[in-house]
Structure 1
Amino acid sequence: MPHGSAVPARLVNTAPSAGPPDGAAPLAIEGGDPVRTTPFPADAAREPVTDQEPVTALEAEFAHFLDVPPWAAVACASPAGARTLALDALALPEHGEVVVPALLAEDIATACLDRGWRVVPAEVDTDAVTLAPRGLAGAVSERSGLAVITHAYGHPASMPELMRLAADHDIPALEDATSALGASSRGQAAGTFGDIALFAFGAGHLIDAPGALLVARDEGRARDLRAARDGAAGPELAGTASVALAQLRDARERLEARRRLAWHLTEQLRGMRAVVRMPHGRHIRHAYDCYVVRLRSLLWSRSVEESVAALRAEGIPCEPAARPSLHRDGRVREPLGEADPRLAEERFPVSIRLPGEMLRIPLPATATTRDMDDVAAALRKLEHAST
């Protein structure tokens, strides 16, 4: 149950669903009947707004959403364009080092490698799957010029501690808040801690338009970002801003709907031995960009890919929640050298294990608690057949 959050009684059954008895029906992938045969809900498309200046309006309303000054938000036509602007503004010398979390940072790592920068993966937190403070501390060196901090699945990273570490080493922080719009840590909104924050919009996120938005802490840097954006912007920016603005205007309602669904599903998964419910740290407000479950590898007989296929056959959309750890990526390892102790396997026990244990399930705001009951029923059915 989320810390400090009450679940409305009408949304939660008084007792979790009972596990299937011995001799339960076979999995759909093995010839049994699926848990559901109707399509899983998806968030409805929004009509673009008709504001005369949609880019200006999006920036102003996004800044208000985050409780930052109006000048801080800079809209961009695409996530790739936003990453380029942010990295240009936080420029490193050639062969400078960028510390990134070993999981969930593939796009920013690729962008840094393409610039000739060296990417240093760092271990992630066991529960939140975000950059661990001890991971950052062990990855920085005198060549470090940037720390990338990524929020995971709507759960904020340990921002106060990570920002203190970055300041101690005199390196700026790029905060990837793509999955955490509406999340907060100790009352401060995700996306307002880093020197620059990136919100990449897209499928599955609270704003699924094709654009992005940058947030800068420094007014001069925000002005430079906007000038660089204007110098490269095409006509598509106004169109993407019109769609994003329409979605931002009802984002709080959809965010609360996602939270209620996540809390309900968390309750319905209570008591499962081999399926770990989505964690919720103290002093944070979760955005639930999706729902992630973990399969206890010591108890589970199927691979994550086999589990995904089985759940999909039951009518539940899902996918693996993480790719393999970046410390094993050849493009990352070669510039650092195989002898670099920061790439040693023993530094990454969590990042090695989690990709083989985690599944992500969408949480569209249009779903109902009955849909979440189907998710729980399918997971219980799969647990019975996999342990």
Structure 2
Amino acid sequence: MGDVIQVASPVLNGNEKKYVNECLETTWISSKGKYVDEFENRFAEFCRSRYAISCSNGTVALHLALLAFNIGPGDEVLVPTLTYIATANAVTYCGGKPVFVDSDPETWNIDPNKIENKINSNTKGIIVVHLYGHPVDMDPIMKIAKKYNLFVIEDVAEAHGALYKDRVVGSIGDISTFSFFGNKIITTGEGGMVVTNNEKLNEKIRILRSQGMYTSRRYWFEVIGYNYRMTNIQAAIGLAQLENIQWHLDKRREIADLYYKYLGSLLEYIEFQAEKDWATHSYWMFSIILKNTVKISRDEFMEHLKNDKVETRPVFYPLHTMPTYRETKEKYPVAEKVGHKGINLPTHGLLKEEDIAYISERIKKYCEYESCDGD
């Protein structure tokens, strides 16, 4: 192989250049401009929701969502321990405490069966993360939330377009948040979105996003807000990406099918993130877990692939193992297994079948290694 096979890469194959050039030619390059409104409106339609509020990245989308529910000191929010650290950090920004929940062994998402025993009088809500593009099992979680009067935030940073029982993820909880970082299914470079059906939450988030300025009275501030806006240039890219989102989703499904085809004979050595019959995975990342039959460590395995010009990523380290959140001796065995043994493989729209075949051939080779000294 020649060039490195990247783990992720944006595909800008639509009207991105045309729309950005229009922003430059008209000088509408900041947070005002037609593309901000159009991207928000079209994204709300895509999510089958009433409102979408653009913002500067996925982390601040989470922060805004939590602020909308008045999370503060003493409040607890349940989050999966197997997720990107932004999910917990946003709770901490508000002065709240993230309380960790272990993963489902098949989907790797937050396990609904392990939520209820984490709830106490300080619990205010639940953040679910549709990890790597597979939907969380939402119905039991919404039932628990209703029973205990908790809000539900869907973190959809990794799952644009995924379906839960024919419902678009991001349309089920009280609020959902999205990231449009450069490696996501669709991108604005940096950027995020908050989506809701609740008119009052929509209005509150819009005020908080724009320094606390009231939408009906310019330069009038009654609350402390934040400068969390998206630029018109970012929104122009996002709109162009959204116009082609079905192509992006179809391409990732094609890549996943190729991985299943080429890696299907290695089930003695690896296991996949399941796709449940009630779900449509969007495959932000195609991921595997190395079984104990593989004699080298996950990190050695990845290093060998790197030497073969195949870029990979480790699955997220569980948050309870991070120095910033290591407050308990409680074990989370499923998350620890996935976090210790999991690998994200290259997953993006520029890959060809020959790339997947090559990656799979290298994976087979290292599955059968006896030590890191093998050749």
TM-score by length of 2: 0.85
Answer yes or no: is the 8 Å Cα contact 2:294–2:368 preserved in 1: no
Which residue in 2 is equivalent to 1:271? Answer: 265
Give the aligned partner of residue 294 of structure 2. Answer: 300
Q: What residue in structure 1 maps to residue 220 of structure 2?
A: none
1:272-304 Cα shifts (integer Å, max 9, x gaps): 1102234211111110001101100x2122221
Match of 1:31 in 2: none
Q: CA deviation at 1:111?
A: 2.4
Partner of 1:264, secondary structure, is: helix
User: What RMSD over aligned residues (CA atoms) do the two structures have, in Å?
Assistant: 2.0
Instruction: Show the counterpart of 1:332.
Output: 325
Question: Partners of 2:150 and 2:229 in 1: how far apart?
Answer: 35
Distance in 2 of aligned mates of 1:132 and 1:371: 34
1:319 corresponds in structure 2 to 313
SS in structure 2 of the partner of residue 153 of structure 1: helix
Unaligned runs of 5+ in 1: 1-35
Q: Quote the residue 2:353 is aligned against.
A: 369
Which of 68, 74, 92 is 2:49 aligned to?
A: 68
Q: 1:237 to 1:142 in 2, by over 3 A?
A: same
Q: Distance in 2 between matches of 1:156 and 1:285?
A: 7
Residue in structure 2 matched with residue 259 of structure 1 by the alignment? 253
Distance 2:265 2:77 in 1: 41
Aligned with residue 136 of structure 2, among 154, 157, 170: 157
Is this contact kept in 2: 1:60–1:73, CA < 8 A? yes
The size of the alignment, in residue pairs, is: 339
Is 2:238 aligned against 1:238?
Answer: no
Q: Choose which of 20, 39, 48 in structure 1 pairs with 2:4.
A: 39
The aligned counterpart of 1:281 is: 276
Cα contact 1:105–1:150 (8 A) shared by 2:
no
Task: Give the stretch that moved more between structures: 39-48 or 128-137.
Answer: 39-48
CA distance in 1, matches of 2:56, 2:3: 35
The one-letter amino acid of 2:282's match is A
Partners of 1:278 and 1:292 within 8 A in 2: yes
Q: CA deviation at 1:253?
A: 0.7
- Letter paired with 1:248: L
The alpha-carbon distance between structure 1 residues 381 and 120, as it changes in their structure 2 partners (threshold 3 A), is same
Which residues of 2 match residues 107-126 of structure 1 at below 5 A? 107-126=86-105
Cα separation, 2, equivalents of 1:234 and 1:91: 17
Q: Which residue of the partner structure matches residue 94 of structure 1?
A: 73
Cα distance between partner residues in 2 of 1:141 and 1:202: 35
Matched residues, percent identical? 22
Matches of 2:282 and 2:229 in 1, distance apart?
Answer: 31
Task: State yes or no: 1:249 paired with 2:228.
Answer: no
1:57 aligns with 2:45: no
Shift of 1:235: 7.6
What amino acid maps onto 2:355 in structure 1? D
Whole-Å separation in 1 of the counterparts to 2:311 and 2:40:
33
- Structure 1 residues 333 and 310: CA distance shift in structure 2, 3 A: closer
**Is the CA contact (8 Å cut-off) linking 1:97 and 1:143 kept in structure 2?**
yes
The CA distance in 1 between the partners of 2:140 and 2:229, in whole Å, is 41
TM superposition shift of 1:385: 1.4
| 1:222 equivalent in structure 2 | 202
Partners of 2:334 and 2:120 in 1: how far apart? 22
Taking a change above 3 Å as real, the CA distance of residues 154 and 236 of structure 1, as seen in their structure-2 partners, is closer
Deviations 1:137-161 (A, max 9, x none): 2211121011110011000010111
Unaligned 5+ segments in structure 2 are 24-32, 212-225
SS state at 1:167 partner: helix
* Distance in 2 separating the partners of 1:385 and 1:91: 53
Distance 1:236 1:97, change over 3 A: closer
The residue type paired with residue 178 of structure 1 is A
Give me the TM-score of the superposition, normalised by structure 1: 0.82
Cα contact 1:124–1:350 (8 A) shared by 2: yes
Instruction: Please tell me whether the aligned partners of residues 269 and 277 of structure 1 are also in contact (alpha carbons under 8 angstroms).
Output: no
DSSP-derived class of the 2:10 partner: coil
CA contact (8 A) 2:54 2:230 kept: no
For 2:343 and 2:64, how far apart are their aligned partners in 1?
A: 32
Q: How is 1:329-368 mapped onto 2 (pairs within 5 angstroms)? A: 329-334=322-327, 338=328, 344-345=330-331, 348-368=332-352
Mean CA deviation greater in 181-190 or 325-334? 325-334
Residues 196 and 216 in structure 1, CA contact (< 8 A), matched pair in contact too:
yes
Q: Deviations over 1:62-101 (max 9, x none)?
A: 11212223xx111112223322211210122421111110
Q: Does 1:309 align with 2:303?
A: yes
Segment of structure 1 superposing worse, 155-164 or 110-119 = 110-119
